[in-house]
Amino acid sequence: MDVAWLTVRDALLRGLTHSLSNRVMAITTLADLAGDAGTAITMRSVLSAEAGRLDALLQQYRLLSPAPPAPPEPLNLADVLPALIDLAARHPDVAGTPCDLRIAPDVQPAFADAGQVGRIVPALIVASMRAAHRLQTTRVEVDVSGNARWVVLRASAGGDAGPAAMPADSMEGAPAVRISETARGACYELLLPTLAAARRRDRASG
């Protein structure tokens, strides 16, 4: 039943997304057709602003139904994280929790299932935001770092969240989640192999 419901839910979300997309297009068209009189200009401005808000909402609806499991592909976390953080911040239990995103300049592309990342990252961000509320801290820190083998996304709240050590080489190639929770802090990490490491493994196995 759970699998069946998930299948139905995803189909319903796709249908809702399509309908919402049509509404955005209609509002945008109305804004473009508005005349140049003072009232019409005001109406056009309002419609354009609403169209922008609806389009942003549409993108978040799409994120709620990530792609089904698929083979890993090159993925730049900097391209997807802002939208996933914004989606997590829509959770009613943590809405309004400030979240600082820092991405190290030398982080390599990851090699991962983009849909899996789209499911895991919001859950980790929400967990860190819940921890921030529990610990009565002001904000959540999201850091992305890495080396030649790993890309590590770290969402933390409070102090004493545990070390940000890189995984052991023996884990190479296997995405993983690490959780560290103490009385003073919490840390939730997603570990992804780099594209370069995946290519090295392919050459070694070939």
**Residue type at position 194:** T
Residue 24 has a CB neighbour count (10 Å cut-off) of 18
C-alpha to C-alpha distance for 139 and 184, rounded to whole angstroms: 14
- pLDDT of 201 reads 80
C-alpha to C-alpha distance for 46 and 52, rounded to whole angstroms: 10
pLDDT digits (tens, 9 = 90+) for 11-49: 777 777 888 888 888 787 777 776 555 556 677 777 788
pLDDT digits (tens, 9 = 90+) for 107-129: 999 999 998 898 889 989 999 99
- Is pLDDT larger for residue 129 or for residue 57? 129
In this prediction, residues 136-160 reach a mean pLDDT of 90
pTM of the entire structure? 0.80
pLDDT digits (tens, 9 = 90+) for 88-107: 888 888 888 999 999 999 99
- For 55, phi and psi rounded to 5 degrees? -65, -40
Q: Is the pLDDT of residue 2 over 50?
A: no
Least confident residue range of 4-8, 138-142, 157-161: 4-8
